[in-house]
Amino acid sequence: MEFLNIIILSIIQGLTEFLPISSSGHLILAPLVFNFEDQGLALDAILHLGTLLAIIIYFREDLSKLLFSLFDPKADTKTRKLAVNILLASIPAGMIGLFGMSYIEAHVRVPQFIALNLLVWSLVFLIADKGSAKEKTPKIDLFDLNLGQVMLIGFAQAIALLPGTSRSGITIAAGLFSNLSHTTAARFSFLLGTPIIMAAGMHSLASWISHPEEHLIYNYTQLGVGFLVSFVVGYLSIKLLLTIVARVGLMPFIVYRVLLAVFILGFFRN
């Protein structure tokens, strides 16, 4: 794979990992549309680690407080509660990823399913977006989420393993249904996504390390470029998402998802 192909895939990963437009869907479609060879586990691991570093650096203060609260008996109880909630909400996606990912990869990684999922969840995002904008009751804070609301967002994140859904989109929508503001829902989506993105990156990295000759189809310079590009684009994507949802909500992403679904259905109609 040439450097241009790696850069394109790195940009796609950096943008779609955080924007509510489905990273898995785009990474499945890109090789089909551009006729790329399989990116392999090495690049897959590197791109995930690049976006993981972006989220860690962007939310370094929040993440450090949450992490240390789990081990510091003098830590603020609300911070510890939020940290525990994030761990609990990560369990559904972790379990489905562990036991169901092989089925998902074998049966639903096809363009038509991606298009259908883009359309179905765009409708859900629209309902959440408009409902939250019309809601008159005061919005709650992250620290006020109860266990039921936390698990609702956690199970929503598990559904995002289906390509075409979008982890950030469905968790933001679940947050809006839980009476979080757009900005707070997006922030919680990022914090909640950190363990899952880390797990995905570590899984790919472990598979690559266990069979390096089989999966290393790029040199280390190419992998380094992929890591750097996915990190920079991912970091900028976080800022972009937080800015857009604070000003206009999810509508720009909903429009893009519908247009993408129409393109997929036309491009792969045969």
In the chain, the number of structural domains is: 1
Contact 3, 222 (CB under 8 A): yes
pLDDT at residue 42 is higher than 80? no
Query: CA–CA separation, 244 vs 238, rounded Å?
Result: 10
Residue 264, strand partner residues: none
Residue 164 corresponds to which tokens in the numbers above?
């075409």
Name the strand (E) or helix (H) holding 181: none
Give the separation between CA 59 and CA 170, rounded to whole angstroms: 20
The answer to whether 98 and 214 are in contact (CB under 8 A) is no
Determine the structural domain holding residue 22 and report its residue range. Answer: 3-33+41-267
Residue 83 to residue 270: CA distance in whole angstroms? 48
Q: In whole angstroms, what is the distance from residue 64 CA to residue 51 CA? A: 18
In percent, the amount of the chain with pLDDT more than 90 equals 57
Least confident of 3-7, 83-87, 143-147, 226-230: 3-7
Burial of 137 (0-12, 13-18, 19+ CB in 10 A): exposed
Would you put residue 215 in left (φ > 0), alpha (ψ -120 to 50) or beta? alpha
Q: Are 91 and 154 in contact (CB under 8 A)?
A: yes
Query: Both tokens of residue 251?
Result: 């509508």
Mean pLDDT taken over the chain:
88
Residue 215 pLDDT more than 60? no
pLDDT digits (tens, 9 = 90+) for 48-86: 889 999 999 999 999 999 999 999 888 899 999 999 999
What is the C-alpha R_g of the chain? 18
Give me the pLDDT at residue 119, please. Answer: 96
pTM above 0.75, yes or no: yes
- Of residues 27 and 53, which shows the higher confidence score? 53
